[in-house]
Amino acid sequence: MTQLLTEEQRKKLAEAGIKAPHVNENCIGCSACVAIAPDVFTLNEEGKAVVIARDSYDEEEVNNAITACPVNAISWK
pLDDT at 2: 81
Alpha carbon distance 70, 6 (integer Å): 25
Does the residue 1 lie in any domain?
Answer: no
Alpha carbon distance 63, 21 (integer Å): 9
Strand partners, 42: 50
Strand partners, 75: 22
Q: What is the number of other CB atoms lying within 10 angstroms of the CB of residue 13?
A: 19
Domain CATH code at residue 59: 3.30.70.20
Does the residue 64 lie in any domain?
Answer: yes
pLDDT at 27: 98
pLDDT at 77: 87
Does the residue 51 lie in any domain?
Answer: yes
Can you list the residues of the chain whose pLDDT is less than 70?
A: 1
Taking only the tens place, the pLDDT of each residue in 44-55 is 999 999 999 999
**Which residue range(s) make up the domain with 41?**
7-76
- Mean pLDDT for all residues in the chain: 96
Does the residue 2 lie in any domain?
Answer: no
How many domains would you assign to the chain?
Answer: 1
Does the residue 49 lie in any domain?
Answer: yes
pTM of the model: 0.93
